[in-house]
Amino acid sequence: MNKILTIMKIAAAGLAFIVSGAQATEEVRLRHAQFTPYLENGFASAELEGAVEVKNIGPNKQVWIHYQTSDGQWLDHPAFYVAATSNGYEAFSFRLPLQGSVSATQFAIKYQVNGDTYWDNNNQQNYQFDATTQTHLAHQAVALDDAYRESSLITVTARALASGNADKVTMVYSDTNWQHSYRTNLTLSHTVADGNGLSGVWTGQQYIEYYRRFEFYLEYQDGQNTFIDNYYGKNYRLFKTGESLGRGELLQRYPQVYFRGEPSGWNSLPMSLIDDYTWSTVVYFDGTTDFKFDIYNDWSRNFGDDTNDGFANLNGANIQVDHAGSIRITFNSLTGAYQATPVN
């Protein structure tokens, strides 16, 4: 276990940190990352997304993407808890929209727990992406890039290791809550440089009736082995038209937030991202009724309010609305602040 003791910014060397006695630590590691600069905008915007594993050495932890902006500043962006993985590790995911001159970017992973800070800064080189090098799949062979639902059309983009002509990426999906499942092969669009070789960018589409709930995972075959990206057992979900799992300008801590409460029979209603980290929906309440916020549509990470102070708590008590009518529910997933405001 190598705890990082000394951290300094060295701008001239192009590195975020110089670390005394540093080697790759076992406390935190990047699983995968994808960098997508949008060519049609002349690299004026991009997104950086991926996943991190951290060792579960304390209950109160924070995971950050420490990244350099187009004007040279170093900022932190939160990664969010997804699930426990194996051998005492937990998975955190991140998605970071970038603005400005983003033909290149660099970042590191910061993990804070028990008063200590651990880094994965790619052996003091940082993780660095540009127009050519756009993936890093050292610890994961296939990963979702983007998914978007427009009415009845689902569009998916994935990244996978490029190992040869036998490569095959398949979207395995269901619109019947997995009573039945189906398979759609994705098509190799192009290859990009990876931190460890080459990666393929795969795309595909599938028509699903707009009113059906759509869930899927990715399967990658290289001719000998099969690898899965099922979002750590949760699968990926697109429940309504206009919903996206990537490529948006707003900052977000979670890919989706759901309203659950008595007005919906405690079924999940996807909320809309209306501002950085801010989700909203309008729900009709009939008298005093309870509700909560659910992140993964399975109650594994939900928020209520134990103290009725307007700030949500993880696994907190039901939140109450004490007047009837159409109510706009707003939730900031970064600060935990929420509001229930009557709609005139």
Q: What is the pLDDT of residues 205-229, one digit of tens each?
A: 999 999 898 999 999 999 999 999 9
pLDDT digits (tens, 9 = 90+) for 138-165: 899 999 999 999 989 999 999 999 988 9
pLDDT at residue number 340: 94
Question: What pLDDT is attached to residue 201?
Answer: 95
The CA-CA-CA angle for residues 302, 305, 311, to 5°, reads 100
The mean pLDDT value of the chain amounts to 87
pLDDT of residue 17: 42
Q: Which CATH architecture has domain 142-238?
A: Sandwich (2.60)
Which residues of the chain form CATH 2.60.40.2440?
7-131, 142-238
Strands 133-136 and 187-194, bridge-based pairing: parallel
Distance CA 96, CA 334 (A): 14
Instruction: For domain 7-131, give the fold.
Output: Immunoglobulin-like (2.60.40)
Does the structure show a pLDDT above 60 at 83?
Answer: yes
The CATH number of domain 258-342 is 3.40.50.300: no
**How do strand 187-194 and strand 182-185 relate by DSSP bridges?**
unpaired
Neighbours of 81 (CB within 10 A): 20
Least confident span in 9-13, 29-33, 185-189, 302-306: 9-13
Place of tokens 């991202």: 273
Mean pLDDT over 272-292 rounds to 91
Backbone angles phi, psi at 41, to 5 degrees: -105, 15
Is 50 exceeded by the pLDDT of residue 133? yes
**331 Cβ contact partners less than 8 Å away, ≥ 6 residues apart:** 257, 271, 278, 279, 280, 293, 303, 312, 337, 338
CA distance 158 to 143: 6
Greater confidence (244 vs 315) lies with 315
Alpha-carbon distance of 239 to 139, in angstroms, equals 29
pTM value? 0.81
- Tens of pLDDT, residues 232-260: 999 999 888 887 887 777 787 788 899 99
On the CB side of 81, how many CA atoms lie within 13 Å of its CA?
A: 17
Residue 5 binned pLDDT confidence (cut-offs 50, 70, 90): very low
Pairing of β 153-161 and β 142-150: antiparallel
C-alpha span between 263 and 258 (Å, rounded): 13
pLDDT in tens, 101-115: 788 899 999 999 999
Q: Residue 40 — very low, low, confident or very high, per pLDDT cuts 50/70/90?
A: low
Of 207, 229, 211, which is closest to residue 220 (Cα–Cα)?
Answer: 229
